[in-house]
A and B are shown apart, each in its own frame.
Chain A
Amino acid sequence: MVKGKQTRVFICTGTGCVLSGSMKVKAAFKSELKKRKISEIDIVQTGCHGFCQQGPIVVIQPEGFFYPRVSVENVPRIVEEHLVGGKVVEDLLYEDSLTNKKIPLYKDINFYKKQNRIVLKNCGLIDPEDIDDYIEHGGYKAFKKVLSEMTPEKVIEEVKASGLRGRGGAGFPTGLKWDFARKAPGDIKYIICNADEGDPGAFMDRSVLEGDPHSILEGMVIAGYAIGASEGYIYVRAEYPLAVKRLGIAVEQAKKKGFLGKNILDSSFNFNVKIKEGAGAFVCGEETALIASIEGRRGMPRIRPPFPAQSGLWGKPTNINNVETLANVAWIIVNGVDKFTSIGTEKSKGTKIFAVTGKVKNGGLVEVPMGTTLREVIFDICGGVKDDKEFKAVQIGGPSGGCLPAKFLDTSIDYESLAKTGAIVGSGGMVVMDKSSCMVDLARYFLAFTQKESCGKCAPCRIGTKRMLEMLQRMTRGESSEEEVVLLEQLAEDVKVSSLCGLGQTASNPVLTMLKYFRKEFEEHVKEGRCRAGVCSELITYVIKDNVCKGCGVCKKHCPVGAIRGEKKQPHEIDVTKCVKCGICMQHCSFDAIYVAK
């Protein structure tokens, strides 16, 4: 029996799934269905589901059967047994990491069950390249309501009442920001959507851009109506080609449907959206640098005030919101302020998306109500630490955020609570670490990033981050001193207070929190020349255990520098003078005979 017309195969074509081969899977489904002359079943490409670790993801609708990690070889079976035979392919289903039970339906998966998806509501469920699909799922309803029933002031009032705060990092009240721009004198005003997502490991904006671009456009037109702008820009990284493409399609479709352009829906409201691709500078996520970049100038921040709400793009009042912030707007208008404010904490309303990566079982995008604890996200939703190792720390907020140890696992995720710990909500990057992560090395990693991305304008950020980085590099080599740890802390504080823009002012956060919570590790590096995680290559040696080594010779074969000697069937030995500490020998040893001496 072939299933009826309503059956649709949803294949995720978000970047994560595309990289793990979803386009090939899609082609395989197409040819398989064609081979069997089945035309009643539609194949729909969707945006990101957020469960990227399990990609390529295939969902069979309308029931919502969930097939993770689908390979081209699996496709004939899914078609044969499930689509034609009507029987779920048991062994291809998702297996819960805690209970080891097979879970057939999307909604029953732990990863999704505990989430509350407002921003990601459509991601993975609609075709992002089809405006009708968006409209069918309630799209542009909010905008129509705004245009027909609400004055701009009323819109601002609603957004203010909802307590929505900027999701780009700083958490400034969105309604207030709109109000400033509305009240700023001037005929020409602009809306800018900041889609220059640059934090390493953060990809929530990307997923919304790729998976539900119209939700952002709808947020922008509503914002435009509210502040009195008739032009908007989406500043999106050129490194997100799929997002750029889908935004382009969305803008064209919205124009055709009359949601953009002149006299929108027969009103006197005009609004157009332009897409501006960024050239890859992290600092262009800073609003004044972003504006400079749109204007064709070098992306460098300038001193505020004046704030963009007074003098922004081309010197006109400008309102800048992040992707996730704008994607909340339509939901608030449709579902009402009360429903939104019922989610979250007293001061932080609604949800927040986190991009959970690192040593975690089920990484991906997680949208949870504000106020959820770190433990709930890491353990309940994401299944805990990989290989059931001990949790060591979580880095929140990317290179501007902080690193928190286990004692903070029950911290509520909201702007105020996180700020108290020295971390920030930031854009929502969350990197989970176990004992194999070295805090000194991690601090070095984040600083290397901010240092490289410093625009070079102000001395504290340009030179200060470099000097900090050099200190950390010396520490990872065991060439530093206790005095330098003190100097590092002082330097980090000074850079924080004297830098010109947010990039420099927050660049010290990872270092400062790591010094605060993991100071002992720094001291071990500089006093004992010891890296307890076994990461800092200059502080460790690889050793072969005589009594375990079987003399199989696999390590010798794989060593890229010929540092391993030994006769067949005799215990082997590593020549420390030649060893470059790449760890390849250890990865290839089948007998766990190689270990790191710290």
Chain B
Amino acid sequence: MSEQVTVTINGKEVKVSEGTLIIQAAKMAGIDIPHLCYCECLPSTGSCRVCLVEVEGAKGLVASCTRKVKNGMVINTNTEKVREARRFVLELILSNHSGDCMSCDKNGACELQKYAYELGIEKTSFSMKDPGYEIDKSNPFIERNYNLCILCGRCVGICKTQGADIIDFIKRGMITKVATPLDKPLQESGCDFCGSCLAVCPVGALLEVDRRFRGREWEMEETKTVCSYCGCGCDLVFGIVDGQIMRTTGESPGDFLCAKGRFGWDFVENPKRIIKPLIKKDGILTESTYEEAIKFAAERLLDIKKAHGANSIGGFIGAGNTNEVAYLFQKFLRAGIGTNNIDSSARLLGFPALIDLYEALGDGAVVSMEDIEEVDTLLLVNADVTVAYPRVGVAVKRALSSGAKLVVVDAGRTKISEKADIYIQSKAGSDEFILSGLLKELLDGKVYDEEFAKKCGKFEDLKKSLGKLKMEMVEKESGISKDVLKRAAKLYGEGKKTVIVFGAETVSPQTMELIANISLLTGKTRASVLPCLLSSNLRGTVYMGALAEFYPGVRKIDEARNDFEKTWGVKLPKKAGLSIKEMLDGMGSSILGMYIVGADPVTQFPNSSSVAKSLSSLDFLVAQDTFLTETAKLADVVLPGITLAESNGTIVNMEYRTKEVRAVIEPLAETDWKTVTALSKRMNYTMGYSSEKEIAKEIKSLVFVPKKIERDTYSFILVEPKVSGEEPDKKYPYTLIVGETTFGFYDGIRTKNSKLSRLEPNAGDYVIFNSEDATSLKIEDGCEVTVKSRRGKVTTSAKILDFLPKGMFFMPSCHDKRGILASDSIDSKLKSPQHRLIAVSISKGGANK
């Protein structure tokens, strides 16, 4: 800790650390120094000249946002001289600020207005000039009114530190303005639309387009909840006016939100939402009453249970529901219906990696975003952090700006790879070779923690097996030279505080094991990983036991049955449950009834044509969702679901933080937990909860609290590297990678029903070609192409972008037909399909050709 110094501010003595800025020291003393360009989350620029103060002995007035305190400094923040200088600067700024406070959305929240009032400026002494700019409305989300802009530079600063770094000042003198390169619209300049600029603007120059004239700050009722998109689980503060969502922000101006968090919430209010139950009559889904639908669904499921036994029914739940709903869901199936046939989309989204990680390292190795900001060396494996898990992306950027080193392993030339010290653009599916090669180079280069590695099990075996590894084979399979791996190993191995960040849904179980090995080899004190999760409550869904293999608390079925029988007061099924793939395979024969909540397996699960076929062969399907998904269309009964923004409860994010979810608006339909309990009650199992709080209480008191479990013994895992994903052959010579995009999200159901679709108008309906393949296949940008796999074919359009190496193609995961192509073959251990790497053939033109 730095030394404490004493300074006198307005006659008051204050003790602060050396190096504190005067403005911060004053704040600690309870003195607010007016400021416009300064923002706590940004480096100071000292440009607005409003925060000027008098420092005894200093020449002239001093900008308090840039001058650091010194021991014995005597500072006066509110003398007449200071006020006069501030008044002068504010008058100048006002003379060029032609807005009318009467109709400004920032009225009451505008910092310029606030200080002008405080300093008693009625009007500027200078002639008022309207800069006469046109308001920039060229993009769908952010409106920039140059006439109100005071050129404080906060937007420029925050775009550099956590945005896409695309805006800066252009021109000089009075015609200086903030713009993108060549003053192009944001969407043509690589803007990620994180909207960080909106949050820091002190005046009305930057506003959410949809917010204009719909409510001023003081009219907003604000509720804090959690974002429903990826597993970062960022805090969102919803601003509500008259029961309608006006905007979202973070808790403080510098809190990062991504485009989805900031602009992607309005699917909640989309008129296409299902708010009334539907019952299929003569093949047509027809509106019914809630009572009727519950009664009908319960009766049909009871019929099936009676005729074919409890194990002829299965359940599937999305990984984006609250802990409370996930807990109820599995309890209903296990204790109510009497089956362990429970699965969730967690199985498709990285659950296997989490289980493996848990076994190899224990959860204690999982770090937080704040931890990431502190490391000096990062290894990113298949983690397109700025796109798929944007808050992690910001943590990585912050680490880099403090001088951290970065190694990126990714087939795709991601935005973060541009900032890498070493970028390893390996062939898709060759991760196991790359990581094995890195392990070998860490060992051979002696850049590892020998003392700790020796204490881990199988260290000698690991050395032996790596001794046999041929680097030539690694080079051949990955396309990366061993020199690059040597350099990467040296860079990573020499780091003092390191972390491995990877996309949990993108890595194979063996890759996960290799990551654990690297982590152990480089030392326990440095063993830290962050598995990035795509789903908002993947951890919670797993911990709540919404999986065939585990009861709540990740307790194995056969080991914990007695405990849960006691807890729930019922006999529980002994038979092991089926995973979703096994259920799909058994549909029409052993599985006859399904209850699916908040998930769309037809779109999400690979080989979707066969999924649809399987679901159609069921005797009875109940789907509970917010939109009429492809799965819901096949259902006999559709029950309305609600979004996270209408729910109360908790989720667990990728960092193991349990976060509180609060309903920000009145739910548009019956809440999910009530629907599950209603269905359960109708099926003669009364759970008797009166609120989400009671469910939470039961989880907390009877079951467990999600927490990291530290481990004291470790062991290396011997891995024989293999190519992961589907093997290309002569007929299907290329590899298609399915991944995330900035404005689309997973199955696309939310993004395409939100205003984000304005930026991704054709809902990810394209395939990315690199220019080399485009030339050899004679494909032009935008032309129609057919992608064919062993399961089916999809016609889409081509987009030419040098993102992947030759022979590899990219399809957005929000493409609604990508499931047709993917393989649903599963590994034996964790029954999860590796559906993100698909062997395909590609031809020009439509599917009929």
Inter-chain CA distance A469–B63, complex, in Å, is 26
A497 proximal to B (CB < 8 A) = yes
Inter-chain CA distance A453–B61, complex, in Å, is 24
Inter-chain CA distance A339–B63, complex, in Å, is 44
B169 proximal to A (CB < 8 A) = yes
Taking A451-B173, A462-B151, A462-B176 as contacts, is the C-beta distance between A298 and B168 under 8 angstroms? yes
Kindly identify which residue among B49, B66, B150 contacts A498, using a CB–CB cutoff of 8 Å: B49
Instruction: Determine if A458 and B49 form an interchain contact, defined as CB atoms under 8 angstroms apart.
Output: yes
Instruction: Determine if A464 and B92 form an interchain contact, defined as CB atoms under 8 angstroms apart.
Output: yes
Chain A hits for B85, CB < 8 A: 494, 497-498
Instruction: Determine if B172 and A303 form an interchain contact, defined as CB atoms under 8 angstroms apart.
Output: no
B153 proximal to A (CB < 8 A) = yes
Inter-chain CA distance A20–B691, complex, in Å, is 93
A406 proximal to B (CB < 8 A) = no
Q: How far is the CB of B92 from chain A (nearest CB, A)?
A: 4
Instruction: Determine if A281 and B172 form an interchain contact, defined as CB atoms under 8 angstroms apart.
Output: yes
Taking A303-B46, A457-B47 as contacts, is the C-beta distance between A497 and B61 under 8 angstroms? yes
Inter-chain CA distance A452–B174, complex, in Å, is 7
Chain B hits for A303, CB < 8 A: 44-46, 63, 66
Instruction: Determine if B150 and A459 form an interchain contact, defined as CB atoms under 8 angstroms apart.
Output: yes
B89 proximal to A (CB < 8 A) = yes
Inter-chain CA distance A491–B87, complex, in Å, is 12
Give how many A residues have a beta carbon under 8 Å from the other chain's beta carbons: 30
Chain B hits for A192, CB < 8 A: none
Q: How far is the CB of B529 from chain A (nearest CB, A)?
A: 32
Instruction: Determine if A498 and B88 form an interchain contact, defined as CB atoms under 8 angstroms apart.
Output: yes
B257 proximal to A (CB < 8 A) = no
Taking A456-B169, A497-B61 as contacts, is the C-beta distance between A462 and B174 under 8 angstroms? yes
Instruction: Determine if A455 and B176 form an interchain contact, defined as CB atoms under 8 angstroms apart.
Output: yes
Instruction: Determine if B95 and A463 form an interchain contact, defined as CB atoms under 8 angstroms apart.
Output: yes
B48 proximal to A (CB < 8 A) = yes
Instruction: Determine if A283 and B89 form an interchain contact, defined as CB atoms under 8 angstroms apart.
Output: no
Chain A hits for B174, CB < 8 A: 451, 454, 456, 462-463, 466
Instruction: Determine if A453 and B172 form an interchain contact, defined as CB atoms under 8 angstroms apart.
Output: yes
Interface residues of B in 1-54 (CB under 8 A from A): 44-50, 52
Chain B hits for A298, CB < 8 A: 168-169
Instruction: Determine if B169 and A457 form an interchain contact, defined as CB atoms under 8 angstroms apart.
Output: yes
Instruction: Determine if A457 and B63 form an interchain contact, defined as CB atoms under 8 angstroms apart.
Output: no
Interface residues of A in 553-570 (CB under 8 A from B): none
Chain B hits for A363, CB < 8 A: none
Instruction: Determine if B52 and A498 form an interchain contact, defined as CB atoms under 8 angstroms apart.
Output: yes
B340 proximal to A (CB < 8 A) = no
Inter-chain CA distance A498–B66, complex, in Å, is 14
Q: How far is the CB of A512 from chain B (nearest CB, A)?
A: 16
Main secondary structure of the interface of B (DSSP, over half): loop
Inter-chain CA distance A183–B89, complex, in Å, is 38
Inter-chain CA distance A466–B127, complex, in Å, is 11
B60 proximal to A (CB < 8 A) = yes
Inter-chain CA distance A383–B175, complex, in Å, is 43
A596 proximal to B (CB < 8 A) = no
Chain B hits for A500, CB < 8 A: 46-47, 49, 63
Chain A hits for B172, CB < 8 A: 281, 283, 452-456
Give how many B residues have a beta carbon under 8 Å from the other chain's beta carbons: 33
B218 proximal to A (CB < 8 A) = no
Taking A298-B169, A456-B171, A456-B173 as contacts, is the C-beta distance between A463 and B48 under 8 angstroms? no
Instruction: Determine if B93 and A458 form an interchain contact, defined as CB atoms under 8 angstroms apart.
Output: no
Inter-chain CA distance A462–B177, complex, in Å, is 11
Chain B hits for A487, CB < 8 A: 125
Instruction: Determine if A456 and B49 form an interchain contact, defined as CB atoms under 8 angstroms apart.
Output: no
Inter-chain CA distance A465–B95, complex, in Å, is 12
B382 proximal to A (CB < 8 A) = no
| A282, closest chain B residue (CB) | B172
| B126, closest chain A residue (CB) | A467
Which has the most chain B C-beta neighbours within 10 Å: A283, A454, A459, A466? A459
Chain B hits for A491, CB < 8 A: 88, 126
| A297, closest chain B residue (CB) | B168
Instruction: Determine if B125 and A460 form an interchain contact, defined as CB atoms under 8 angstroms apart.
Output: no
Interface residues of A in 421-480 (CB under 8 A from B): 451-460, 462-467, 470
Kindly identify which residue among A300, A466, A467, A499 contacts B169, using a CB–CB cutoff of 8 Å: A300
A262 proximal to B (CB < 8 A) = no
Taking A283-B172, A302-B45, A500-B47 as contacts, is the C-beta distance between A459 and B92 under 8 angstroms? yes
| A497, closest chain B residue (CB) | B60
Interface 1/0 per residue, A290-331 and B, CB below 8 Å: 000000001010110000000000000000000000000000
Inter-chain CA distance A455–B169, complex, in Å, is 9
| B87, closest chain A residue (CB) | A494
B96 proximal to A (CB < 8 A) = yes
Chain B hits for A453, CB < 8 A: 172-173
A to B CB contacts below 8 Å, 8 in the list: A303-B45, A454-B174, A457-B47, A467-B126, A470-B127, A494-B88, A498-B89, A500-B46
Q: Which 8 A-B pairs have the closest CB atoms?
A: A456-B176, A303-B46, A463-B92, A303-B66, A494-B88, A454-B173, A457-B47, A466-B174
- Sample of 12 more A-B contacts, CB < 8 Å, known A455-B169, A467-B92, A467-B127: A452-B173, A453-B173, A454-B172, A457-B47, A459-B47, A463-B95, A465-B173, A467-B95, A470-B127, A491-B126, A497-B85, A500-B47
